[in-house]
Chain A
């Protein structure tokens, strides 16, 4: 059970449900990949989707979905992250202004927060940051032209 409070605990409380569900979370200590904007200091690179405005929130979403809106999106596999971003940008070119058009490499440690289990197919997972985690040190590894 997590002893360190989560960074977005205030928002979690407002959801009025069990967020995040700790039984499904665990530690992670490895490299992970993220869609980032080339300007590494950009707000969107360091914040979860529901904190980035305007969020695409659906008020009827279930607790679990809304809770993940306050987590950082990451991938364990670089190639799969790249393919996913390429497809998103081919589908919606202006998404590059929101998600970015680069893949950034991040070292995630147990001190950053807790993660859910990566999706088998696309390796996407969510990191719920701890309160004392400030920001990530991101290195760009790929740029989608």
Chain B
């Protein structure tokens, strides 16, 4: 029995609207699998085989920009990128019979292309599979198109998007091999988890960069009183727009702050630090070197980001661009890479203790367990235990007075554990009678 082809929503049209001439094949095996055609105006069209049954071959047909075609043939754009970038965002679904005649033709939206019709996102052109490639190149003069025309193989040109919007932009391009992420659509739960986990990573990095726990250094600027909230805002972004392409989200920082000393924005600093963590975590040695600069917040947020990728079987490309200085950066995560990095993070051992002095208020006191909750004047919250020496004296503390305290913070992470355990002990506390 002849199995029907997949039923795809679209607008049926009586015939294919263009008269096309075949130029060559980008993929050929026992017949054409991906062919290039031209119309009378020398626009390029791709016929991408997607499915067949006993009587019909089905092709996904789309017009492509010759610059994108050139980059695809040069191996800089993937097959997925090529499908992702049709001219006029228009696709045709064409069924041909055994004589090669078109018997069905539909106009469809990219959103309705099923996953089974799409290539994986890491498939690139191989000239071994092609036929009459010289004809394709010469017909469209593809060798005259320089690589500067399209800068590099980005999912979208993030710098171009940033310049167009006159704003720093972060792009999260999300793809999945399952139904959870499709062409221009994504499950809400996935989108919210990805956005949330990336935000938490940025937030943890921002707090870490403007640390108040350790000594100020060249890389860590001690934040001032009341600055915590505004620092967290530096990591926050607002949703700008999305583009069809599995699912691609563009985010813009809600707050911009420029460091006058090196003329970079805080978002760029936060993002560079996040990417430094991405790179260092690929190997245990480099992760060890970065260890002094990682805190529990960053480690936990990073683990959760990677866990989301692994558990939901996602591939996420993270890109950032600053149109002010043309800086751009990109990294790609898939489940295998996430798994490998999580293994590196789990074997990382952290063991350090340091003391800090603070001023603030007790928010809670537990005389049964000898624990406290303390808020510094900068807005940081510390939860811990009183030292042996302070336990008996805790009854003198109240929730109204301002205290000067000394905390011992012990960070410990053993191999095999995902997070750094932080143990906070209050070792000294004096009421600040001056306030």
User: Contact residues of A with B, CB < 8 Å?
Assistant: 49, 53-60, 69, 73, 87-88, 90-95, 97-99, 121-122
Contacts and interface: CB of A to CB of B under 8 A. Distances in A.
B123 A93 contact: no
Contact of A73 (B30, B32, B123): B30
B56 interface: yes
B218 interface: no
B32 A54 contact: no
Looking at chain B's contact residues, is the secondary structure mostly helix, strand, loop, or mixed?
mixed
A137 to B, nearest CB: 22
B75 to A, nearest CB: 14
Contacts of A92: 33, 48-50, 119
Contacts of A121: 128
B123 A91 contact: yes
Interface stretch (B12-20, B92-100, B283-291): B92-100
Contacts of A55: 31, 98
A87 B55 contact: no
A73 B29 CA distance: 9
B410 to A, nearest CB: 47
Contacts of A98: 52
A49 B37 CA distance: 23
A53 B54 contact: yes
Contact of B49 (A53, A56, A59, A87): A56
Contact of A53 (B33, B55, B123): B55
Given A88-B29, A97-B52, A54 B97 contact: yes
B97 A90 contact: no
Contacts of A94: 50-52, 116-117
Contact of B27 (A54, A58, A91, A93): A91
Given A91-B123, A93-B117, 14 more contacts: A49-B30, A54-B56, A54-B96, A54-B97, A58-B31, A58-B100, A73-B29, A88-B29, A90-B123, A91-B79, A93-B115, A94-B51, A95-B49, A98-B52
B371 to A, nearest CB: 52
A69 B119 contact: no
Contacts of B79: 91
Given A49-B30, A73-B30, A91-B27, A54 B52 contact: yes
B22 interface: yes
A138 to B, nearest CB: 17
Contacts of A73: 29-30
Interface of B: 22, 27, 29-33, 48-52, 54-57, 79, 96-98, 100, 115-117, 119-120, 123, 126, 128
B44 to A, nearest CB: 18
Given A53-B55, A97-B52, A121-B128, A58 B98 contact: no
Contacts of A59: 100
Contact of A54 (B30, B48, B54, B120): B54
21 contacts: A53-B98, A54-B57, A54-B97, A55-B98, A57-B100, A69-B30, A73-B30, A87-B123, A87-B126, A88-B29, A88-B33, A91-B33, A92-B33, A93-B116, A94-B51, A95-B49, A97-B51, A97-B52, A98-B52, A99-B30, A121-B128
Contacts of A58: 22, 31-32, 100
Contacts of A122: 128
Contacts of A57: 31, 100
B310 to A, nearest CB: 19
Contacts of A54: 52, 54-57, 96-98
User: What 8 pairs across the A-B complex have the smallest Cβ distances?
Assistant: A56-B31, A49-B30, A54-B98, A91-B119, A90-B120, A94-B51, A91-B123, A93-B116
Contacts of B116: 93-94
Contacts of B51: 94, 97
Contacts of B126: 87
A139 B45 CA distance: 41
Contacts of A95: 33, 49
Nearest to A96: B116
B403 to A, nearest CB: 63
Nearest to B118: A93
Given A91-B119, A122-B128, A56 B50 contact: no
Nearest to B126: A87
